[in-house]
């Protein structure tokens, strides 16, 4: 009924997030590389607005912005034979690259950078903030758009790896694109590759109706293959990394603060109520509904239920959640408030609107039509175990394996039901009818906290 856990050999297998990122993609990639020794080539097209956390076996956290997260396995000595290719569409700061290379101990012959990779300059972040405005929705002001705009406009200020070849050649192998392409194709003859895509599919700039709330490119396997200059013949498995409860970054408020809200009383009068810093996430969770949909919403503040009708410091939303998902606050789930890695602002989180559903069907249909996934990894399953089965976040017991198997089956049937519907309706080609296999479930932070479902 379910297909193999093995990834396609001599191909570039691609892992990407279904939703808007922060789905533990890096740990998923590290898990795959740790458990599949035939994967010896790692690729990525990272940019500085996205960061990926690797957690060592000693529980040390390290944030990658340039290299694929699975290179952290070199630090832990799980692997010693990994080779990395940065895509020509990569955007990075040289000092950050050097920091990551030193941390993992990757030798220069095993890190390949094409001449055309984009390099950040000092001051790019400030220029981006000035161009976009300090309150631009969702922007980290990393400078990547300024750096990439130089490449697109082809001005004399163009900043690419070739311009820094002397400095970069001390730590990496920097080559013309034609050499990069030849080396990669030759390596694929006897090796298997895994590519880690940043951010998430639902942030693709051309595939949503709110491009101001997207990233600067499309997050798809075919876009990545185009980025590295290889045809789809070299594409292997497409692995959907699906977070159990999806997130979005914080909505935007003046000075990134919420000091008060306006509440609607029973007699329809309005009252100004102070908001404590620890309640930021609660107001954040209803801001889209109150301010964009113009629907008052009730939350608990200072031990009392209040009906919020206005948030004066609100500037704009980071975007709506996909259909089939309902935004909640972290207290509702009984979970600690997550913060974004770079801005340290509280994330927004959503749960399925239908008890019989685990994912957004509308988004996953689009995902299948665009990417045609063959496998999946489900992450943050400990949130399901906690919210739906009353287990502590770090707790396991004799029933944990049984619960994880049930959750795996739920996702498997739902993903494949959607795919089967599209096949039967002839919306997608029927030349490949293999099921979308669940490779693993992540239920904790470390690489030991992955569960492999039974067949």
Domain definitions of the chain by residue range = 1-120+159-242+372-455, 252-352
Quick one: how far is CA 162 from the chain centroid? 29
Q: What is the CATH number of domain 1-120+159-242+372-455?
A: 3.40.440.10
H/E element, 257: none
Specify the pTM: 0.93
Neighbouring residues of 64: CB distance < 8 A, sequence distance ≥ 6: 26, 46, 51, 52, 53, 54, 71, 72, 100
Cα Rg of the chain, angstroms: 22
Residue with tokens 């000091």: 259
Residue 120 has a pLDDT of: 87
Give the integer Cα–Cα distance in Å for 202 and 206.
Answer: 10
To the nearest 10 degrees (0 to 180), the angle between helices 124-132 and 144-153 is 90
Instruction: Name the DSSP letter for residue 321.
Output: P
Give the integer Cα–Cα distance in Å for 199 and 222.
Answer: 16
Reported confidence tier of residue 140, pLDDT bands at 50, 70, 90: low
Q: Where are the alpha helices (DSSP H) in 136-195?
A: 144-153, 165-168, 177-188
Give the integer Cα–Cα distance in Å for 103 and 101.
Answer: 5
Q: What are the φ and ψ backbone dihedral angles of 128, each rounded to 5 degrees?
A: -65, -45
Quick one: how far is CA 445 from the chain centroid? 15
H/E element, 437: strand 437-442
More confident residue, 95 or 145: 95
pLDDT at 2 over 50: no
Residue range 166-184: mean pLDDT, rounded: 97
Reported confidence tier of residue 214, pLDDT bands at 50, 70, 90: confident
Let me know: does 294 contact 244? Beta carbons within 8 Å: no
């Amino acid at each position: 009924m379910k297909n193999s856990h093995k990834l396609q050999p001599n191909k570039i297998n691609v892992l990407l997030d279904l939703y808007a990122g922060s789905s533990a993609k890096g740990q998923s990639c590290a898990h795959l590389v740790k458990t599949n020794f035939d994967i010896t080539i790692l690729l990525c097209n990272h940019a500085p607005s996205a960061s990926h956390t690797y957690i060592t076996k000693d529980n040390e956290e390290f944030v990658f912005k340039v290299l694929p997260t699975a290179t952290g396995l070199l630090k832990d000595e799980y692997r010693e034979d990994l080779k990395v290719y940065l895509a020509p569409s990569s955007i990075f700061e040289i000092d950050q690259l050097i920091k990551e290379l030193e941390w993992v101990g990757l030798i220069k012959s095993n890190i390949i950078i094409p001449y055309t990779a984009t390099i950040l300059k000092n001051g790019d972040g400030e220029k981006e903030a000035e161009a976009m405005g300090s309150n631009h929705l969702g922007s980290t002001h990393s400078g990547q758009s300024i750096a990439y705009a130089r490449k697109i406009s082809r001005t004399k200020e163009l900043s690419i790896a070739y311009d820094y070849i002397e400095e970069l050649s001390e730590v990496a192998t920097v080559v013309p694109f034609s050499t990069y392409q030849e080396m990669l194709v030759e390596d694929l003859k006897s090796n298997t590759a895994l590519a880690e895509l940043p951010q998430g599919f639902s942030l693709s700039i051309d595939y949503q109706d709110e491009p101001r709330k997207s990233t600067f490119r499309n997050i798809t396997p075919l876009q990545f293959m185009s980025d590295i200059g290889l045809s789809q013949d070299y594409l292997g498995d497409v692995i959907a990394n699906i977070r159990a409860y999806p997130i979005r970054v914080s909505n935007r408020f003046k000075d990134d603060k919420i000091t008060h809200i306006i509440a609607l009383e029973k007699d329809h009068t309005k009252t100004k109520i102070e908001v404590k810093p620890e309640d930021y996430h609660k107001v954040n969770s209803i801001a889209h509904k109150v301010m964009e949909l113009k629907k008052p919403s009730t939350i608990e503040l200072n031990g009392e239920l209040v009906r919020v009708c206005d948030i004066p410091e609100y500037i704009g939303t980071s975007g709506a959640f996909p259909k089939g998902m309902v935004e909640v606050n972290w207290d509702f789930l009984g979970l600690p408030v997550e913060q974004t890695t770079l801005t340290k602002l509280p994330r927004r989180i959503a749960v399925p609107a239908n008890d019989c559903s685990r994912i957004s069907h509308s988004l996953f249909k689009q995902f299948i039509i665009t990417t045609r996934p063959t496998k999946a990894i489900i992450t943050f399953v400990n949130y399901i175990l906690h919210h739906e089965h009353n287990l502590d976040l770090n707790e396991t017991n004799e029933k944990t394996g049984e619960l994880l198997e049930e959750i795996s089956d739920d996702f498997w049937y739902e993903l494949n039901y959607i795919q089967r519907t599209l096949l039967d309706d002839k919306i997608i080609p029927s030349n490949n009818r293999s099921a979308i296999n669940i490779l693993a479930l992540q239920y904790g932070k470390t690489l030991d906290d992955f569960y492999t479902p039974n067949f």
